[in-house]
Structure 1
Amino acid sequence: MADIAALRALGIAPDQLQPEYREVLESLTEDEVRVLSQLKQRMDSVGDVEGHGDGGVFW
């Protein structure tokens, strides 16, 4: 089960997601949460994004 506090630290609030998405996040391994964290750090290092399409990935 994923560390919910670690997910919240990434800006992901599982309690605000649809139940099926929350279930997926809660089932992540520590390694998967670590990968999400690394991806977020890399994306944050790029700077602000001025617009989004319908990609569905938001931090």
Structure 2
Amino acid sequence: MEQFALQSAHSGAIKHLHLIQFAPKTAGIAREIRLAVTIVVIGWVTVTGIRAFFERARR
């Protein structure tokens, strides 16, 4: 089991910790999804930048 801790500070002086437990397979899938999303975002930013650069060069 993998544990993730999330610390929360609410509007008062109360601070507490949320523990979330995942099976190793679930944590691996989450990492793969995170990597896939990162790759898609990098590609989107790159394509958008290239389009903007060449559009500006045409004018």
TM-score range, shorter chain: 0.3 to 0.5
Q: Which has the larger radius of gyration?
A: 2
TM-score, scaled to structure 1: 0.42
TM-score, scaled to structure 2: 0.42
Greater fraction of residues in strand: 2
